[in-house]
Amino acid sequence: MHDKKVHLFIFLLLVLSTFAFAQKNEVSVSVGALATSDQQTTVVGLVCVIGNPNCGGPFNNHTSTNAGFEGDYVRQIFNFHIASIGAEFPLLGVPNQNLTSDFGGGVTATLSHSSVFFTPSARIKFVPSARLSPFFSLGGGLEHLAGPASSVTRGTLQYGGGLDLKTPLPHLAIRGEVRDFWARGFAEGASNVILSPDRLHHVFGGLGLVLKF
């Protein structure tokens, strides 16, 4: 009888520890849109013909707003009840964006490219056990832009936040979030080409589901 009680106690401890472990992991999927700020290009040293004094620019570069898809994994490291701190690994993909350069006089050029952002980050989540839990994220990683003939990979800074809303299902929540990936765009600067600003804001806003396990 004593052995049965010991075995039952050990079993309950294992169940409770497994449950506690489960609450330290989150996987989320969000769908939304990515908007990129505009940029101007100026070509230095050009000799302009009479009647076209602005042949070197500045020319405006506009990137279209398109659908983005994000997957995110979070591992909780500390839980202070009022707030928790975790490591997160957001991966954002945008299958298609159009970069249009306006050279004036009705002359434009458009380049289509895809975007991928991977930015390991630190995340702080406030009142994680509450029905509504806001969070803030800060980190950095890589941005990869791929066009039809070339691709570039650069560093990027990520910061943003959101709100998780618990559902009646114990391990499922609804998430709304906004993240800014501060990085360079597809256009390249050079000794005679000035980009302004040098870095762009790639702002993602999305809605999704969070699974805690």
SS (H, E, C) 74-133: EEEEEECCCEEEEEEEEEEEEEEEEEEEECCCCCEEEEEEEEEEECCEEEEEECCCCCEE
Least confident range from 46-60, 142-156, 197-211: namely: 46-60
Q: What band does 17 get if pLDDT is binned at 50, 70 and 90?
A: very low
The two structure tokens encoding residue 1: 């009888």
Q: pLDDT tens digit string along 103-116? A: 877 889 999 999 99
- pLDDT, residue 19, reads 43
- pLDDT, residue 77, reads 97
Domains observed in the chain: 25-212 (2.40.160.20)
Please, which residues bridge with residue 68 across strands? 32
Please, which residues bridge with residue 101 across strands? 61, 109
Q: What band does 56 get if pLDDT is binned at 50, 70 and 90?
A: confident
- pLDDT, residue 22, reads 47
Q: Considering only CA atoms, which of 211, 213, 210, 206 is closest in space to residue 30?
A: 206
- pLDDT, residue 4, reads 57
Q: Considering only CA atoms, which of 43, 53, 94 is closest in space to residue 196?
A: 43
Q: Considering only CA atoms, which of 121, 120, 123, 131 is closest in space to residue 76?
A: 123
Mind giving me the DSSP string for 16-72? HHHHHHHTTEEEEEEEEEEEE--EEEEE-S--PPTT-TTTT--EEEEE--EEEEEEE
- pLDDT, residue 203, reads 98
User: 3-state class of 135 per DSSP?
Assistant: strand
Q: pLDDT tens digit string along 153-203? A: 999 999 999 999 999 998 999 999 999 999 998 877 777 788 999 999 999
| Residue 48, CA distances (Å) to 44, 107, 123, 193, 194 in order | 11, 17, 52, 16, 17
Give dist(CA 13, CA 23) in Å, integer.
Answer: 15
Q: pLDDT tens digit string along 2-15? A: 565 545 545 544 44
What average pLDDT does range 81-91 have in this prediction?
Answer: 97
Q: pLDDT tens digit string along 114-156? A: 999 999 999 999 999 999 999 999 999 999 999 998 999 999 9
Give dist(CA 134, CA 35) in Å, integer.
Answer: 23
Question: Exposure of 176 by Cβ count < 10 A (0-12 exposed, 13-18 middle, 19+ buried)?
Answer: middle
